[in-house]
Amino acid sequence: MDVFGVFAQFWPELLSGVGITIKLAGLGAIIAGFLAPLLALVRVNGGPAAQVPLRFYISFMRGTPLLAQMFLIYYGSGQFRPFLQDIGLWNFFREPFNCALLAFVMNSTAYQTEILRGGIMGVPHGEIEAGKAVGMSYVMSLRRVVYPHAYRIAWPALGNEIILLIKASALASVVTVFDLMGQTRAIFQKTFDFSVYIWAAVLYLCLTAAFVWIWRRFEHRLSPHIHGKRPSLLGAMTKRETA
Amino acid sequence: MLELFSFGEAGWGDQLLQGLLVTIQLALTALPVGLLLGFAAAGASLSPYRWLRAIGTGYTTIMRGLPELLTLFVVYNGLGLLLNSIVSSWNPDARVELSSFVAGVIALGLVFGAFAGEVLRGAFQSLNKGQMEAGKAVGMRPTQVFFRIMLPQVWRFALPGLGNLWINLLKDTALVSVIALDDLMRMTQVAVRSTKQPFTFFLAACLIYWALCVISEIVLARLEKRANRGVRRA
């Protein structure tokens, strides 16, 4: 075992792996983050025709292993190859990165939808009525009243879900994506030096720790009335005392 | 279509069933390992000794931050290398192979234990102190206080969290197919290789996992109902 030698030799590979991991988890979380608020609204207010398929979707996504979902998309698409070639989507499904990303988006959408549903249901009804009373339209009360409060409630749980997604992105290495886990496995197969796993563990811990820090910062920004002083992302540029 | 899943020579029904049994065995073996580790971690992070607390929180924090797949490879490759170096220091010609089942049980148990440690710590912390003092006051021994007053309530507080962890554990067993254990996931891959019907078979595997999770949820709901009998609802 040569802990520092391994890093000195393979740091470019490891760092490029970190880049792919960030890209995979970040894109997955962001795309799911656009879909989830709409679906959560359907889960709260939708009629049964929209509710039933959505509940099945969410239950399926939460009740099956992500690895199986990824295999279903990556290998499963091969069964429909002629059809996918006809409609010009085969190039998309041929890339393991795209398939892994699609699986993460579909999976994370299900989890984020349920989290946001809880957030929306936690908004006190009086606030919505107050919005109506001052003449807000439905869309405006969503934008000004429901979503801001729902996100404040759901923020910590959303953070947990994204941490799970960062960790789950390691699965992409199984379908030959060279993310941090993929690079680590490749390096271990070359060197049989166990310390590369230690570096991978350190890098994953750094990734999640950095994410937790950023997420907390945003949480303070979202609800300054709860957290008191308002820390700025660029450091304490303005010093404002809250009464 | 259906003959693909029939039993016997023609179909893959019996292979999938075999894989399913391995998956269930793996989950049921990792569960007690994880629960024990969880109780140990909760006890350590609540202990009056600082070094024990450091070990407890260190274990739960680090293990919860690592991808399960990484933990699995660390255990499978790392423990394998370690065992071999120990054995070869005795007998240079001997080699041992860590079975993928054992590696899977250890890795899944370690992950379960880290999360369960946090769930159980929360449960122990929400116990009512007065009840323990009352137990002492009527002359119960510490073990009696633990088994008669603390444990039943910890069970009640921790059950929802532990239930979620069990479902995660069931799903995480699929990872062990990557280190070549013949679980449901891997038997599905074997079937895919010879039938060239990946979507059909992976969908079938997903449906089987889904069924396992739905059954677990039903059982857990019953357990929760039972654990909460006699408790006034808010």
CB distance from A83 to chain B under 8 Å? no
CB A197 within 8 A of CB A205: no
Q: How far is B232 from chain A (nearest CA, A)?
A: 23
CB contact under 8 A, A167 and B68: yes
pLDDT value of position A228: 60
User: How high is the pLDDT of residue B142?
Assistant: 92
Task: Note whether B77 contacts A: Cβ–Cβ < 8 A.
Answer: yes
**Cβ(B126)–Cβ(B157) below 8 Å:** yes
User: Which has more pLDDT, A221 or A161?
Assistant: A161
Residue A232, chain B, CB below 8 Å: the answer is no
Whether A176 and chain B come into contact, CB under 8 Å, resolves to: no
Q: How far is CA B181 from the centre of its chain?
A: 16
Hey, is the C-beta of B180 within 8 angstroms of any chain A C-beta?
no
Q: Where are the domains of chain A?
A: 3-242
CB contact under 8 A, B202 and A170: no
Question: Do residue B209 and residue A68 have CB atoms under 8 angstroms apart?
Answer: yes
pLDDT tens digit sequence for B18-43? 999 999 999 999 999 999 999 999 99
Say which of A68, A71, A204 has its CB closest to residue B67. Answer: A204
Show residues of chain B in contact with A205, CB under 8 Å: 62, 65-66
**Closest CB to A181 among B69, B185, B214:** B69
How far apart are the C-alpha atoms of B30 and B103, rounded to whole Å?
10
Tell me phi and psi for residue A225, to 5 degrees: -70, -20
Q: Which CATH class is domain B14-227?
A: mainly alpha
Q: Is the pTM of this model over 0.80?
A: yes
Give me the phi and psi of B27, to 5 degrees please: -65, -40
Q: How many CB pairs under 8 A join A and B?
A: 111
What is the ipTM score, two decimals?
0.89
Number of C-beta neighbours around residue B127 at 10 A: 14
Mean pLDDT, rounded, of chain B: 90
Query: Looking at chain B from residue 44 to 73, which residues have their Cβ under 8 Å from any Cβ of chain A?
Result: 62, 65-70, 73
Q: Quick one: pLDDT at residue A2?
A: 79
Per-residue pLDDT of B8-21, as tens digits, reads 766 788 889 999 99
- What local confidence, expressed as pLDDT, does residue B1 receive? 66
Q: Most A CBs within 10 Å: which of B23, B60, B70, B172, as the mutation test of the A interface?
A: B70
Hey, where are the domains in chain B?
A: 14-227
pLDDT score recorded for residue A5: 84
Q: Give the fold, CATH level 3, of A3-242.
A: MetI-like fold (1.10.3720)
Asked if residues B177 and B100 have their Cβ atoms less than 8 Å apart, the reply is no
Amino acid at B203: L
Q: Name the minimum distance, in Å, from the CA of A161 to any CA of chain B.
A: 12
Contact criterion met (CB < 8 Å) for B200 and A79: yes
CB pair distance less than 8 Å for B198 and A71: yes
Residues of B with Cβ-Cβ distance to A84 under 8 angstroms: none
Residue A27 has pLDDT above 50, yes or no: yes
The size of chain A, in residues, is 243
**How many helices and strands, by DSSP H and E, does chain B display?**
10, 0
Please provide residue B231's backbone torsions phi and psi, each rounded to the nearest 5 degrees. Answer: -100, 130
User: In this predicted model, what pLDDT tens digit does every residue of A32-74 receive, in sequence order?
Assistant: 999 999 999 999 998 899 999 999 999 999 999 999 999 999 9
B175 close to A (CB below 8 A): yes
* Chain mean pLDDT for chain A: 89
